[in-house]
A = this chain, B = another copy of it.
């Protein structure tokens, strides 16, 4: 971005087997000084698609985005649906790396086609929300583009800024939310990447296309019926489940269930959407067979938001004592437009409510405050800098964050293996890096991983899930397909149908472990510790209504890491 030069480069030989998160980890460690300031020229932002893109494998269209996080200070990968991974594959690109920062105060678009990258000045888009930005880009470059853009939060370099990916209808409603990756894109002065659809799309080579189709067919025949609940209710189906388990964050993690739960449940959401003729079910990216996304319309049937998910609903709903899906949909829409992570915002606003900056349950005040981010007020900047900074500036100790990043909507006292992942993942507190919801098990069919809120088996479960998810993130398929043993068997078959690697199950595990090892190596050099204590109050307070305790010791957490040195 300093020189406005670009190169199309062949993937280095040692990176040839790496996709998505694995490629990002390796490039970051090889090319970026881990000690650099996340907003400085030395940091890079990397967009990498997974190894299953362009195959029939289910849900292969996740795009990994990564860099050194302004929130955690460590490496961060966040992956997102939408159309970008597919377009990149059609353009013949495994990854896009943006380096350095311009000296001038000018915003740019990167318009990427098969043969060139144009650096287009974008002064007219400065300060615009993602919705207006993407609409203008589609006006200019047509409806077939895929976009990756930032809103005013990223422009202002606020640490919770997200990268918006356009979905199948061209709406910037899919977000790589966690870790502040939009902030890095903002520091490079890139308002958006525009990926053109080539007239002759590249095709990904497949070793045995017939075998791959067969494997996929078999997998889908089991997967699709299994995921029926998610297809109908989306991730919001988790609201009532988490409430039942007693781990639904409520009033800044004071309670594990919410007395207005029924107003914000997946069932309530489904009812509203269907009665108003929205779409209860939508695919976020090409090839998705689970279709957990949705389109939410207002009382007049006008589009309000899409990709309206559990995390957003829980952290801005029960956690702020807001029991109103219309308000929550506005919060989601506003966050998507401004370009901030809904998880970080729910936590940051809870902390601001602790300090009395706004009132518990006051949804309109939340929407106004989020809009202030776009206006660049100090209140807005503070909120968009994340929960930890809000706590520091407002003098609040009750901050539900680990290593500078707000917690996702699983109280670790009830979702115990999630808690282990929050404390140990190189990504910091990130549910997607070890999604231990109820019923999840590791890869060993003989092992007893214990009940959801028991400490028993949770070190093993968390590390096995982290390894399995890192595989999902490298091969680029949605982890909703499953970080599960039986899925991995299909992944293995698919790998051996796509490549001539002759992979074994052990090779697969080693591949996943290695991703985590490299990420931890980066973090170590960045001065970020491998084990992070959860906030004090999780140790001190039991969680009503089931009175769950956080009872994983420091020794157990150390034991977690030991596994990766073998």
With A378-B379, A382-B382: A42-B393 Cβ-Cβ less than 8 Å:
no
Please state if A389 and B378 are interface contacts (CB–CB under 8 Å).
no
Residues of B within 8 A of A38 (CB): 397
CB of A438 within 8 A of chain B? no
Please state if B157 and A395 are interface contacts (CB–CB under 8 Å).
yes
CB of A489 within 8 A of chain B? no
CB of A533 within 8 A of chain B? yes
CB of A381 within 8 A of chain B? yes
Please state if A393 and B395 are interface contacts (CB–CB under 8 Å).
no
Among candidates B393, B397, B531, residue contacting A385 with C-beta atoms closer than 8 Å: B393
Residues of B within 8 A of A395 (CB): 39, 156-159, 183, 186, 381
| A529, B526: Cα distance in complex, Å | 10
Please state if A385 and B392 are interface contacts (CB–CB under 8 Å).
yes
- Kindly supply a per-residue 1/0 record for chain A positions 219-252, scoring 1 wherever the CB is within 8 Å of any chain B CB and 0 otherwise: 0000000000000000000000000000000000
Residue of B nearest to A42 (CB): B536
Residue of B nearest to A161 (CB): B395
Give, as a whole number of angstroms, the nearest-CB distance from A267 to chain B.
38
Give, as a whole number of angstroms, the nearest-CB distance from A76 to chain B.
16
CB of A527 within 8 A of chain B? yes
Could you say how many copies of this chain the assembly holds?
2
Among candidates B36, B159, B396, residue contacting A392 with C-beta atoms closer than 8 Å: B159
Residue of B nearest to A390 (CB): B393
Most B CB within 10 A of own CB, among A35, A42, A393, A394: A393
Please state if B381 and A40 are interface contacts (CB–CB under 8 Å).
no
CB of A535 within 8 A of chain B? yes
Name A's interface SS. loop
Please state if A397 and B535 are interface contacts (CB–CB under 8 Å).
no
Residues of B within 8 A of A70 (CB): 392
Residues of B within 8 A of A39 (CB): 395, 397
Interface residues of A in 161-212 (CB under 8 A from B): 183, 186-187
| A503, B384: Cα distance in complex, Å | 57
With A40-B536, A378-B382, A533-B527: A389-B393 Cβ-Cβ less than 8 Å:
yes
Interface residues of A in 333-382 (CB under 8 A from B): 378-379, 381-382
CB of A532 within 8 A of chain B? yes
Please state if B382 and A536 are interface contacts (CB–CB under 8 Å).
no
Interface residues of A in 499-541 (CB under 8 A from B): 527, 529, 531-533, 535-536
How many residues belonging to A are interface residues under a CB distance threshold of 8 Å? 36
Residue of B nearest to A394 (CB): B381
Please state if B397 and A393 are interface contacts (CB–CB under 8 Å).
no
Residues of B within 8 A of A157 (CB): 395-397
CB of A37 within 8 A of chain B? yes
| A290, B11: Cα distance in complex, Å | 67
Give, as a whole number of angstroms, the nearest-CB distance from A74 to chain B.
13
| A535, B183: Cα distance in complex, Å | 19
Give, as a whole number of angstroms, the nearest-CB distance from A12 to chain B.
26
Residues of B within 8 A of A158 (CB): 393, 395
Residue of B nearest to A155 (CB): B395
Give, as a whole number of angstroms, the nearest-CB distance from A369 to chain B.
12
Residues of B within 8 A of A379 (CB): 378
Give, as a whole number of angstroms, the nearest-CB distance from A70 to chain B.
8
| A533, B156: Cα distance in complex, Å | 26
Please state if B536 and A37 are interface contacts (CB–CB under 8 Å).
yes
Give, as a whole number of angstroms, the nearest-CB distance from A386 to chain B.
8
| A396, B38: Cα distance in complex, Å | 11
| A379, B394: Cα distance in complex, Å | 11
Give, as a whole number of angstroms, the nearest-CB distance from A151 to chain B.
14
| A183, B527: Cα distance in complex, Å | 26
| A182, B529: Cα distance in complex, Å | 28
- Kindly supply a per-residue 1/0 record for chain A positions 44-72, scoring 1 wherever the CB is within 8 Å of any chain B CB and 0 otherwise: 00000000000000000000000000100
18 A/B residue pairs, CB under 8 Å, sorted by A: A36-B536, A37-B397, A37-B535, A37-B536, A38-B397, A39-B395, A40-B536, A42-B536, A70-B392, A157-B395, A159-B392, A378-B378, A378-B382, A382-B393, A385-B393, A389-B392, A393-B393, A529-B529
Beyond the given A36-B536, A37-B536, A389-B389, please list 14 additional residue pairs across the A-B interface where CB-CB is below 8 A. A37-B399, A38-B397, A40-B397, A186-B395, A187-B397, A381-B393, A382-B382, A382-B393, A385-B392, A389-B393, A393-B393, A527-B529, A527-B531, A527-B532
